[in-house]
Amino acid sequence: MDAVAFHLSPPVKDAVCKQNITTALVPVGCTGMLQPLDTAVNKLIKDWIREFILDCELEQERKGKTRWSVSDRRIMTTWVIARAFERLKAKKDLIEKAFLDVGITVRPDGSQDNLIRIKGIDEIDFTGWETASEITIKSQELVSRLCDEEELSFGPEDELDEDILIYSLKKMTIPQLKQLASRNSLTVKGRKDDIVEQLQQYYAKERSQNDCITVQIDVEEDVFTVD
């Protein structure tokens, strides 16, 4: 589970416990490295959805359809997502490997630690972890995710989803956008659309220059940060 407030609430903990499920908590800021959905599933699902949307649109065009209503799009979206999840259900080995790669389902005796494959783990310094004092994280400091309280991490093999980025930026207020632009040494002048476009170009450039970026909305200020 991710370190978001609702995951750590007593009702969720009790429900998980009653199902005899052993939980693994992904630390704040590590979602892109340790969450199987992020490391192995999300990009595949998005690619499949794009594929099925294109197939559907081409098929309808062959039948003479040139205009799409909101209702048409809703029906198509439901259909393509269902197809994508049907394909995912057939990829059980992929799901099992994803949990194994990040160390969630390895044997607790350490005999399978050699199977762990976490991108970028060699660059992390674990020195002194045995003696480190316990860290208390306040609820307002927990990672909040774009739109549905989820973090977006983009590794070197992933595509920066422009649609999600633009949608999330447009949800912000002008003061929030200006604060975000100021944090990244960008101009705060112009209309809201101008600032959004500026930030979009900034994050696209960051993605091209770095192996991995993380974009998240802070809980209290609702502002993006880039790692």
Q: Over the stretch 132-191, which tens digit does the pLDDT of each residue have?
A: 554 444 443 433 333 333 344 444 444 445 666 676 777 777 887 888 888 778 887 788
CA separation for the pair 38, 42 (Å, rounded): 6
Is 94 inside any structural domain? Answer: yes
- Residues 10, 95: one domain? yes
Q: What is the pTM of this model?
A: 0.47
- Residues 14, 113: one domain? yes
- Residues 151, 96: one domain? no
Is 72 inside any structural domain? Answer: yes
Dihedral sign, Cα of residue 82, residue 84, residue 87, residue 88: negative
The model's pLDDT over 119-139, given as tens digits with 9 standing for 90+, comes to 777 776 666 655 555 444 444
The model's pLDDT over 23-49, given as tens digits with 9 standing for 90+, comes to 777 776 677 778 888 888 888 899 999
Is 134 inside any structural domain? Answer: no
Is 130 inside any structural domain? Answer: no
Structure tokens at 113: 């630690």
Quote the number of domains for the chain: 2
Q: Write out the residue range of the structural domain in which residue 191 sits.
A: 146-226
